[in-house]
Structure 1
Amino acid sequence: MSSLKGQREMIFSEDEQLNFKEFDPSIGADGYCSAIRNVLFPSSKPTTLDIAALSIKYRIYVRGSIFSRVRPIDNSLIDKFLKEHVTRKEFFPATRSVKDASIGRFNAQGVRKLYLADHPYVALKECGIEPGQHFLFSYFSFSADTYFMDAELNETKFSKILHDLFQSEDRRFYEVINRVYESYLDYPEFQGLAYSSARVQKNYHDPVWGEIDSTTNLVMKEDHMPSAELLGGWLALCDEKYRPRYLRIFIPNNPKKKQKLVSTSYQGSKSKFISLTQELIRKTRDTKRKSVNRIKNKEYADPEMSPVKVLIKD
């Protein structure tokens, strides 16, 4: 097994497992990636041609599927979001003209991707929102049927390793996660990846939110972001019971002016704020109900695909 000079080579017996709880600098990202690859190709040699089959799974999210998104807001920007003109782009990842994206669980440094959650509580937890912190909370819907690779592949040793890696809370593993995802799970046929939250366990019961019935997160590739439609959102403050206290609402209202948002603050006009909030919640529920009916009536198509990966040896 090759490894960078000065980094420890990782050799494991059949009974040993890779540990992703704490990143070991002496192993390094290259060492972890090589060890993971050796699980998939255990008999690989520098001169051999190696073939492996992954039994992949994917998820279909039909048109109208609803997801939540949270963006933490720095205190220095509160006045802007309370009083100034805010456009649709504020609810999406920043473009490269504003700043390069920082490395995330499934996006490399400078690579723009959209993170969504199946449950609002999960979206809050994934972003590390704490009581007293301001954030943007929004609802998104897909304008077309979408296909996401499922990170939970099967019960093989390789799949177990990927699951443990993707669940790591140590941000130093993000480079490893991104490289592994790109090598084994990133296919042009899919809009992105569906994966389980690393911070919320399924069926967790919160005193305020109740049972969290889904801990699924989605990460969508930049070129597919146009299919993610912003239904609306709020500037909110997380209270001491971990509930969002809405301060200002933002709703798109003109299809010809996609960046423009109508906004009203609670303090500025309580009655209009409540009316717009009720309208957004009603629209979100109606959109979700229609998507559920599409699933029941199988009003979607299974994709015709045979994903293939060619990996080049170091």
Structure 2
Amino acid sequence: MHKNDRIFVAGHRGLVGSAIVRKLEVEGYQQIVTRTRKELDLRDKLAVEQFFQREDIDIVFLAAAKVGGIVANRDYPADFLTDNLLIQTNVITSAQQAGVKKLLFLGSTCIYPKLAPQPMKEEDLLTGELESTNEPYAIAKIAGIKMCQAYNQQYGTNYISVMPTNLYGSHDNFDLESSHVLPALMRKCHEAKIKNLPSIEVWGTGKPRREFLYSDDLADACVYLMKTYSGNDIVNIGVGKDISIAALVEEIKKVVGYEGDVVYNTSRPDGTPRKLVDVTKVHSLGWEASTSLDEGLRQAYHWYLENYEAVTN
């Protein structure tokens, strides 16, 4: 990337996109192009084509997606499949037609089989059955990876795909019905604290293990790889270590200052037993995560408190 490149960050208001914009601004990139959903619906093929033809975009970070936790994926599987397929297809095809120099596609580690060996390697893709609770979303993300690879093969494009592990940070979704586990737990602990509740309910057994990556670390990895990496092979982005949900709850309780009990609702699904990615490849490319879970949780909670009204209404 060059400092005078016109860089389109799709999904700039979300957890990942906002972090990428911050990283680019810190590094001195001044021609950052963004559009809200109201200004440009990425599901609208004609609108996306016209945008790319008009804006002379050089670089694309495709961070726009319909995302959510177990409940949202369970209740709206058609939306998760259709919306993400439309967004990806419209942006990738329009970028190629407009002669974009390079594109980075944000996938997800849910692309890997439910019972993949741990830690999950990039070559584990398509080697087994997916986790049923987010299969439509995973299928859409796999299609995005294959689109990038196919366009590279057929058109000689320079499109790369990265697979981040579970993310958290500022601009996260704290809605209890649609959020992922970490922000949901943070909100539950905070509201139990201010209401002086004796306990919080946590879905599942607390036994599943998850890996958590701070969103600003992912942004750093994305910008780094856009500068240094080209190739058809996907790249895992993570921290290389995981934590049980039960232990995560205790970490969040400490950060929030909540001292009540935790009640596990075992009638609710656990999801995948373990999700840890092998980060050997990204380390070999010269990048490692730098934010500890404790520091990341503190920063995320600080942002949550500062934006409490906006994120809870």
TM-score normalised by the chain length of structure 2: 0.22
TM-score normalised by the chain length of structure 1: 0.22
Structure label with greater radius of gyration: 1
The structure where strand makes up a greater share of residues is: 1
The structure where helix makes up a greater share of residues is: 2
